[in-house]
Copies of this chain bind each other. A is one copy, B any other.
Amino acid sequence: MRIFRQALNPEEIVKITGGELLKRHDTLLNHVADPQAADEHSVLFLDNENYLPAVLSSSAGLIIARHKYKSELLNHSANLIFTENAYQSVLKLVNFWLETEDKDFVTSIHPAAVIAPDVILPEHCKIGAYAVIEAGTTLGDYTIIDPFCYIGQNCRLGEHCRLYAKVTLYENTEIGNNVIIHSGCVIGADGFGYLLLEGRQQKIPQIGQVIIHDNVEIGANTTIDRGTIGPTIIGEGTKIDNLVQIGHNCVIGKHCILCAQVGLAGSTTLGDYVCLAGQVGVADHLTIGEGAVVGAQSGVSNHLPAGGKYFGYPARDAMLMKRIMAVENDLPELIKFMHKLQKDRKQE
């Protein structure tokens, strides 16, 4: 668990979280913990009946709980804050801590970073050890480049971005503001395109780029290929999990959710607010409409209309798919009956 530098007393915390404070004793809180690991300096939250016994037997210094758990908690020695939604209250507290630590922004450029002479660094930034930034690239203010990041030629990064250790951007990649990219991502590698000519797979040159808009987050070891000619585009506010593959010339809308190990073949378009669960695969040149939700491991082989829920292999209307799956278990029994019927008929 993460210990924050600025410890707070219960009175300071209730100003951040809102709610009603029941002060029991003086203490300083500096982190949020699991019940088993909690000590005098820990904040816990209680939103859900299942966790009540663990919270009751914990040694936390402060418990933030829903109003409805008031009577159960009154005998606990911890300081108590009661709110409408304990989880959202604790999120407010953690975000306060995170923002406080971010305010200590101290520009630092590690001497072992290799930065091309024409790269103009912004007033505030951090460049870690062994980062490499090639010629023609620009960085926005307050952007953090961790160790071993490789940023190719002529990339453009916005403000307040964070590239964790070992992110790779191929040349000409464009990234907006407030973009977070986790370790091991590869953005802008060649799209997968070949023509079989005279018995050999001949490479189709990949000379497009990747454009990532504001407020996108991308998980570890995900790969997003450059377009063949035009760009591959990730829309504003979209969140992408680990080990996802996005093929060349895909266009992803705004505020989409792509869970881990999703794969999109080339030139596929997702509307805004599309949600693809884990390991979903989408074939090439398809369109998935705004707000569509596709269940885990589904295989999308046709266009999907906006707003629907889809599921299965191939992906179909989720209600229909559930009915199909429900009858599958009866299939062996019923097929046996049908074979009997067939036999009877032949004998007639």
Contacts and interface: CB of A to CB of B under 8 A. Distances in A.
Interface residues of A, number: 104
Contact of A148 (B148, B152, B170): B148
B2 A201 contact: no
A320 B332 contact: yes
A231 B330 CA distance: 41
Nearest to A249: B34
A278 B263 contact: yes
19 contacts: A1-B207, A1-B231, A2-B172, A34-B230, A147-B150, A150-B166, A165-B168, A183-B186, A184-B223, A186-B220, A192-B219, A192-B239, A220-B223, A223-B242, A245-B261, A278-B281, A278-B283, A323-B331, A324-B331
Contacts of A329: 316, 320, 324
A91 interface: yes
Given A265-B260, A327-B331, A281 B279 contact: yes
A329 B319 CA distance: 11
A8 to B, nearest CB: 15
A1 B171 CA distance: 10
A68 B94 CA distance: 64
Contact of A150 (B148, B180, B201, B225): B148
A17 to B, nearest CB: 14
A27 interface: no
B330 A335 contact: yes
A97 to B, nearest CB: 9
Interface in A251-280: 255, 257, 259-261, 263, 265, 278-279
Interface in A169-187: 170-172, 180, 182-184, 186
A334 B338 contact: yes
Contacts of A129: 114, 132
Contacts of A110: 114
A245 B260 CA distance: 7
Interface string A98-128: 1000000000001010100000000000001
A230 B51 CA distance: 13
Given A201-B239, A329-B316, A299 B297 contact: yes
B338 A201 contact: no
Given A182-B189, A263-B260, A332-B327, A32 B207 contact: yes
Contacts of A192: 219, 239, 241-242, 259-260
Given A132-B129, A148-B150, A263-B278, A194 B114 contact: no
Nearest to A114: B129
A25 interface: no
Given A166-B166, A182-B190, A261 B263 contact: yes
Contacts of A219: 189-190, 192, 223, 225
